[in-house]
Structure 1
Amino acid sequence: MATEITMPQMGFDMTEGTVANWLKALGDPVKKGEPIAEIETDKTTIQIEAFGSGVLSEIRVAAGTKVPVGSVIGVIGAPGEAPGTAAAPAAKPAAAPAQAGGQVTPVARRMAEELGVDLSTVSGTGREGAITKADIEAAAKRAATPAPATGRIVASPAAKSVAAAAGVDLRAVKGSGPEGRIMKADVEAVAPAAPRPAAVAAAAAPSAALPAAVPAAPLATVGDQRKPLSKMRQIIATRTQQSKVNAPHFYITVATEMDAALALRGQVNESLKAEGIKVSVNDLVVRAVALALRKFPSMNASFAGDAIDYHGAIHVGNAVALESGLITVTVRDADAKSLKQIAVEMAGLVSRAKSGKMLPGDAGGQTFSISNLGMYGVENFVAIINGPDAGILAVAAAQPEAVVRDGQIVIRSIMRMTLSGDHRVTDGAQGAEFVNEIKRLLENPWGLVL
């Protein structure tokens, strides 16, 4: 039985993705769970796994092609099944280059536009000399930037296309993809600021619902530089601005004594040493937040225009800093997972995010988020809500402070947490109860391991 390979949805707001690279060739054997293709999104590159075993019988979407979420990009057939011919037509005598108005399949025409291939230079090998997507893919490969004598340049087709259009030397670009692969966003980050293609300029324009941006001041000195926003930076800028404009934020800060939690963490890590598992302070916070969300469902919600959506599942998102920006990885059903499970899952999520090898389901879909800057020694900060969540918790560093207990001055490890709440969904009193429940759980941490 054939298994379709579809473009995955990596987050609630992802509508399309690019097939960056096929990890299997047409006709190759495939095992269930084996990485089969790399998908490039606005924020990262992920590897998608095969959901069945057999052979890669069809490649319906060529590398470098952007398609909507849910589109079938390939097919896994039964073992021994002959590869399909749709994606790889049998070689035919070369036809003359296409004349204006010549026969070109719709898929090939769209691919040519996306890859910047001149149809008049392509010889069709399809029926009656028609140009197929395989012809376009071959032409794009021929036109790709040649590798220098010192080594092979590894770049996605989309990155090569943008580099060619912008006049960027790929040898000078640092790749952020798997194994240093140069992605489209890497090229956009170093491309000259002007002129830019109209499509890119339009994508960078702010939403019509947002106030017009103030024009940038002219460069003042010789040492100043102006660099165009990368695609990830554009997305972050748009979404954070939308959140601040559309969601009326309120803020509540509590100071939490972390001495007991830190002591418990040390004991837990000692018991898990043989398994190579380490529980972080953030893992404790994730567990506490998940349990608090179970008790306060008004915070596990999102604004829906004329209604409020209360979510049945508790998915805790965690902001992860990358060289190119931020991405939110998600611990799903966090309230049903033990502290040990959360620690293992978070370690895998962060590792894959930083290496550019994320899997479907790793990012997005959160019902509440955490932004932790404690590792940078930050004493206190506020975070912008990651819409459409009802709130986000900003977690600072645990630092020794003098406090008064029973009339005596003592030293305690104090960690400040600030809740940013969406006033359209919840109110200050509910937010205060919620963040104080997180504080209570962390100050009485045995409830986190039971």
Structure 2
Amino acid sequence: MPLDASMRMPDLATTGSPMRVVRLLAAAGDEVARGQPILEVETDKATMEVESTVAGRLVAIAVEVDDEVLAGQLIATFAVESAGAAWVAPAAKLAPSHPAPAEDRTARASAAASPASDRPSFFARNRARRSVQPTSSKRASLALSLAGRVVARRMQEIKRTVPHFYVQASANAGGMVRRRDAAEGPRPAWDAFFVVAAARALREHPRFAHRYDQEKLVPHGGGAIGVAVDLDDDLYTITVDDPAAKEVERVSAEIREQVDQLRSGDPKARQPRPASMTVSNLGGSGVESFAAIVNAPEASILAVGSVLPAAVVESGGIFVQDRVRLTLSVDHRVAGGKAAAAFLHAIVRGLESF
């Protein structure tokens, strides 16, 4: 005679953070093998499949898409054959006060069985949720995505614990403008110039490729440079490996490829990778200059404004020149003002050499 068995949410190393259910991969009535994925959840690090720890007929799934779950929470019940069945915790009773209509159950089963290509991406689902207008007379609160909540916690913690200071400079952007205009194929992304210049400046100033760790400086990131990317109001960082040894056009192609992977909802693209520093560019949003928050444990972040024509005095004359304003935010535990100024001027020299 079949026995009821329950499955609880495993610990996916999320340090206690809630996980959001992204997809149901099985439906009530399915025969499920041990190790077969039954859910897909979004953690604070990646999108992951949750594999069944029970072999048997799935009686009910206790969660729905967009629900938040914690490690140890009941997520499914099964009917298992007693003969040879591994011990599992007794099932908690799933007794919804209003059973789902038959058509709802059919729809959920169909959604669980449909291929990934037929379902909207993670970002499309985010857009759909945010486009829903509140129906009450009072405006509803705006719910943050899991990624948004993680960023909020990190930024608050970083500003509280990392002593920031800022140095500013501007660079002649004429060479970058001409190189973009002369491109025979796709024009290099603006970010690529700043990534390459920052990486080459790191070679001259390796102190900034370290992180502060318990009263000592530890190498970090191996010279890789991160690029801040905003997609659907969620902030991510992609990483370019060894850009100092690459041409701007190649770095540009790598950046665009990784952004496309992010837009597609590829979970691997969302997994953070270490970098020595990050570039954050709001020039395309019409921002002349700003100061960014260091992406700890990195030691610095370069904030890039718009490329704009500016009057410049040279050799007693006034000329109009394309220029860009830069702000370098620095962890004061890693470096002081003089070192930061030298590092920023090395970045400026790199930008003006294109």
Provide TM-score, normalisation by structure 1: 0.57
Q: CA RMSD in A?
A: 4.6
Which amino acid counterpart does residue 286 of structure 2 have in structure 1? G
Deviation at 1:14, TM superposition (A): 11
Aligned to 1:230: 145
Secondary structure of the 2:256 match is: helix
Aligned to 2:294: 385
Structure 2 CA distance for aligned equivalents of residues 337 and 243 of structure 1: 31
Deviation at 1:356, TM superposition (A): 1.4
Q: More displaced, 417-426 or 300-309?
A: 300-309
Aligned to 1:113: 73
Deviation at 1:61, TM superposition (A): 1.9
Secondary structure of the 1:313 match is: helix
Whether the aligned pair in 2 keeps the contact of 1:176 and 1:186 (CA below 8 Å) is: no
Which amino acid counterpart does residue 295 of structure 2 have in structure 1? N
The number of residues matched between the two structures is 313
1:256 and 2:171 aligned: yes
Q: Of Structure 1 and Structure 2, which has the larger fraction of its residues in strand?
A: 2
Secondary structure of the 1:381 match is: coil
Structure 2 CA distance for aligned equivalents of residues 309 and 16 of structure 1: 31
Q: 1:407 to 1:312 in 2, by over 3 A?
A: same
Q: 1:374 to 1:339 in 2, by over 3 A?
A: same
**Per-residue deviation, residues 321-353 of structure 1 (Å, max 9, x unmatched):** 021420111112222333232111101111111
Whether the aligned pair in 2 keeps the contact of 1:18 and 1:39 (CA below 8 Å) is: yes
Q: 1:320 to 1:155 in 2, by over 3 A?
A: farther
**Per-residue deviation, residues 254-286 of structure 1 (Å, max 9, x unmatched):** 11110112112222x21xx2xxx4311111111
Structure 1 gaps, min length 5: 1-6, 28-36, 47-58, 63-85, 98-109, 158-173, 193-221, 446-450
Whether the aligned pair in 2 keeps the contact of 1:189 and 1:230 (CA below 8 Å) is: no
Which amino acid counterpart does residue 307 of structure 1 have in structure 2? K
1:123 and 2:79 aligned: yes
Structure 2 CA distance for aligned equivalents of residues 127 and 255 of structure 1: 75
Structure 2 CA distance for aligned equivalents of residues 422 and 154 of structure 1: 51
Residues 67-216 of structure 1 mapped to structure 2, 5 A cutoff:
88=55, 113-115=73-75, 117=76, 122-127=78-83, 177=122, 180=124, 182=125
Whether the aligned pair in 1 keeps the contact of 2:292 and 2:301 (CA below 8 Å) is: yes
Deviation at 1:307, TM superposition (A): 1.5
Provide TM-score, normalisation by structure 2: 0.71
Whether the aligned pair in 1 keeps the contact of 2:221 and 2:275 (CA below 8 Å) is: no
1:42 and 2:44 aligned: yes
Deviation at 1:413, TM superposition (A): 0.8
Q: 1:331 to 1:300 in 2, by over 3 A?
A: same
Aligned to 1:427: 336
Structure 2 CA distance for aligned equivalents of residues 408 and 14 of structure 1: 62
| Aligned mate of 2:317, from 396, 408, 426 | 408
Aligned to 2:245: 336
Whether the aligned pair in 1 keeps the contact of 2:225 and 2:278 (CA below 8 Å) is: yes
1:319 and 2:264 aligned: no
Secondary structure of the 2:306 match is: strand
Residues 44-63 of structure 1 mapped to structure 2, 5 A cutoff:
45=47, 61-62=51-52
Which amino acid counterpart does residue 330 of structure 1 have in structure 2? T
**Per-residue deviation, residues 26-68 of structure 1 (Å, max 9, x unmatched):** 99xxxxxxxxx9763326648xxxxxxxxxxxx9824xxxxxx
Which amino acid counterpart does residue 439 of structure 1 have in structure 2? V
Whether the aligned pair in 2 keeps the contact of 1:349 and 1:362 (CA below 8 Å) is: no
Deviation at 1:383, TM superposition (A): 0.3
Whether the aligned pair in 2 keeps the contact of 1:371 and 1:394 (CA below 8 Å) is: yes
Aligned to 1:196: none
Structure 2 gaps, min length 5: 1-10, 26-30, 34-38, 61-69, 114-118
**Per-residue deviation, residues 137-187 of structure 1 (Å, max 9, x unmatched):** xx9xxx889776997799789xxxxxxxxxxxxxxxx97617x4x58x987
